[in-house]
Amino acid sequence: MDEVIIVGGGLAGLVAAHEATKRGRRVVLIDQEGPQSLGGQAFWSLGGLFMIDTPEQRRMGIRDSRDLAEVDWMGSAQFDRPEDENPRKCAQAYLDFAAGPMRGYLHDIGLRWFPVVGWAERGGSYANGHGNSVPRFHVTWGTGTGVVAPFVKLAKEAEAEGLLRFAHRHKVTSLEVTNGRASGVKGDILADDDAVRGASTNREVVGQFDFSGESVIITSGGIGGDHDKVRTLWPTDRLGPAPKKMVAGVPDYVDGQMQQAAKDAGAGAINEDRMWHYTEGLENWDPIWPKHGIRILPGPSSMWFDANGDRMEAPCMPGFDTLSTLKRILSTGHEHSWFILTQKIIEKEFALSGSEQNPDLTNATWSGVLKERLGKGATRAVEAFKEHGKDFVVADDFDTLVEGMNKITPDVPVDGAKLKAQIEARDSQLENEFSKDAQIIAIRQARAYRGDKLIRTAKPHAILDPKNGPLIAVRLNILTRKSLGGLHTNVQGQVLRPDGMVFDGLYAAGEVAGFGGGGYHGYNALEGSFLGGCIFSGRAAGMEA
C-alpha cells in the first residue's frame, strides 16, 4: 500500500509530493498524461509569483508590506458569501506565506527571479478596491519551466530513494471510500502516447488499476480545456452571456473530470461560478493543443476599443482590471475587441504569456534578454504573431488599417471616422504635460516606475503620427484559463463535505481547490497568485496528508 496517493502531476502535485516524501511518506503520483507532461500547466506559464516585500522589490525602489497586500487582496477578492470563510482564511495564510517564508523556501531549492518586478492587474479605481497598489509580479528565471524543474528534480530523487513512484497514463475514474474515509482510487490505464507536451493524446484503454492508500491528494487542475463546462458554470448574471467562441489557454485534458469524481464520492465544492478568463487572447498561428490561444501581456499604451469601435473607459485599460473589461466587452453582444497601437508601442510593450513565447527568459540568459527586450523591433515571438497571426492588421495609413479590420470581422464592421476621431482626441492630450485622459495619466504614472520605463512602457506619442508607424490593429479574443472556485478545503488542505465536515483522508490543492479553500482569490486574481497558490496549497496538503 502506498501511504499517499496524489492525483495530478502538475505543480501542486509535485510540491505535495516533495513535502510528503520529505516526511518519509511513500507516494504514488498519478497522471493521465505521459512523463513528457510532468509539471502540467505551470510548465507553460511565464513563471510569475506574487510575493511581498522582497529584495527584488526593494532594489527597484518598491515599498511593499503585508498590510498593503492585504488591502489589495481583500479589495480584489470581495468575499461576500457564507462559504467564503475558508477561502478568506486561506487568503490570509497565503499572505503570511508570501510576506514570510515563501521566497526563502523557493530560493533554497533553486529558484531565482528576474530583477525587474512586474506591475500586473493594476485595478484603476479605488485604493481599497481591486488591483495591485505596487509591482509584485516576480518572473522566475527560466519562466514556468524554471518553477517546475526543481520540484521535478526532487521528485526524481525521491523516486531513486524508493519513496515515490510515478503512474503515468493512469486516468482516475472514481474515488474509493471505506467507512467514510478516502481509501484509494480506481481507473483506466491508457495506451502510451509520445505526443509532444500539451498536444492531445489517445484515450485507448489497455487495462485498469486499483490503488489503495492512507490518504488521497487531488491536484488535477481546472476546467479551462472543456469550453462546454466553462459555459455551463458561466456567471451570466455577473459577467454577461458566455462567449460562443473562445480560445483555449490550456490543453484539452484540463477538463475537470477528477473534480467531478470527487464530488460524486461526497466531496463538497464551492464558488464554481468564479472564473478568471483573459480578454487579450490571440489564436495561436502555430498551435500545440486544440483552439490554442496565447495571451498578450500588454503595457498601458494601446488604445482599447470594443467590437463596435467605441473606446473603452477606465478601468478597462490594458493591464488594469480583467473582469471589468471582460464584462464590458460582452455587454456589446459581441465577443471580440480591438487594440490599436503603433510599431513603437509593440516594440516596447507587447509580451506574450508562456514559457515557449519567451525563450530569452526561459533560457535564463542575460544576453538573450538584452537582445530580445532592448534590441531593435519587438521580440521574435511577437514579430512572428504580427507576421503570421490571423488577428493582426498592419498598415501604413489609417484607412488601410480600418479596411483590414473590417475584413477580419465583416459581420461587425467599425466606422473609420468614429474610430479616428477618438484616436485624435487621445493624441491631442499629449500636447502639454497636463491631461484629463485616464490612459495618458496612467502611462505617465507607469513611466515613473523605472522598471516599466526601462522595458514595459513606451514614451507617450501620437498614434496617428506616421513617424511612429506602421499602425497596428489586433483583434482580441476571450481566452479560457483559470477556475477560481473548486473543492472546498480548510487551510490544511483537507477536503470538506457539503455539510462542512472534514472528508477523512481526502485532500486537495492547486486549481482544483480554487488554489486554496475552494477559492482564495474570491472574485479577482492579482496575478502571480496561481503558481503561488499551487505552491502554497500543495505544500500545506503534503505536510498534512
In order of their start, the domains of the chain are 3-221+484-544 (3.50.50.60), 284-479 (3.90.700)
Which tens digits make up the pLDDT trace of 444-462?
999 999 999 988 999 999 9
pLDDT at 455: 86
Helices (H), 265-365: 322-330, 343-349, 359-362
pLDDT (average), residues 54-76: 98
pLDDT digits (tens, 9 = 90+) for 407-456: 999 999 999 999 999 999 999 999 888 999 999 999 999 999 999 998 89
Between 354 and 145, residue with greater pLDDT: 145
Tell me: pLDDT of 377 over 80: no
Q: Is the pLDDT of residue 535 over 70?
A: yes
In whole numbers, what is the pLDDT of the chain averaged over residues? 95
pLDDT value for 371:
64
Residue 403 has pLDDT above 70, yes or no: yes
Q: Cα–Cα distances in Å, from 535 out to 8, 147, 269, 324, 407?
A: 14, 10, 21, 28, 45
Q: How far is CA 431 from CA 425, 442, 461, 522, in A?
A: 11, 16, 10, 42
- pLDDT tens by residue, 179-211: 999 999 999 999 999 999 999 999 999 999 999
Confidence of residue 30 (pLDDT cuts 50, 70, 90): very high
Percentage with pLDDT > 70 across the chain: 97
Q: Mean pLDDT over residues 310-329, rounded?
A: 97
Q: Is the pTM value of this prediction over 0.85?
A: yes
Q: What is the pLDDT of residues 96-137, one digit of tens each?
A: 999 999 999 999 999 999 999 999 999 978 999 999 999 999
Cell numbers 471505506 correspond to 178
What cell numbers appear for 47 in the block? 513563471
Quote the CA–CA distance of 135 and 63 in Å, as a whole number: 9
Give yes or no for residue 367 having a pLDDT over 70.
Answer: no
Concatenating the DSSP letter of every residue in 328-356 gives HHHTTT-S-EEEEEEHHHHHHH-EE-SGG
Q: Which of 206, 218, 214, 194 is nearest to 170 (CA)?
A: 206
Per-residue confidence at 28, pLDDT binned at 50, 70, 90?
A: very high
CA distance 120 to 128: 17
* pLDDT exceeds cutoff 90 at 397: yes
- The pLDDT score that the predictor gives to residue 379 is 85
pLDDT tens digits along 9-27: 999 999 999 999 999 999 9
Cell numbers describing residue 19: 513535502
Instruction: Give burial (CB, 10 Å; 0-12/13-18/19+) of 186.
Output: middle
Residue 232 has pLDDT above 80, yes or no: yes
Query: In this predicted structure, what is the pLDDT of residue 254?
Result: 95
Amino acid at 65: S
For 329, half-sphere exposure in the C-beta direction (CA atoms, 13 angstrom radius) is: 28
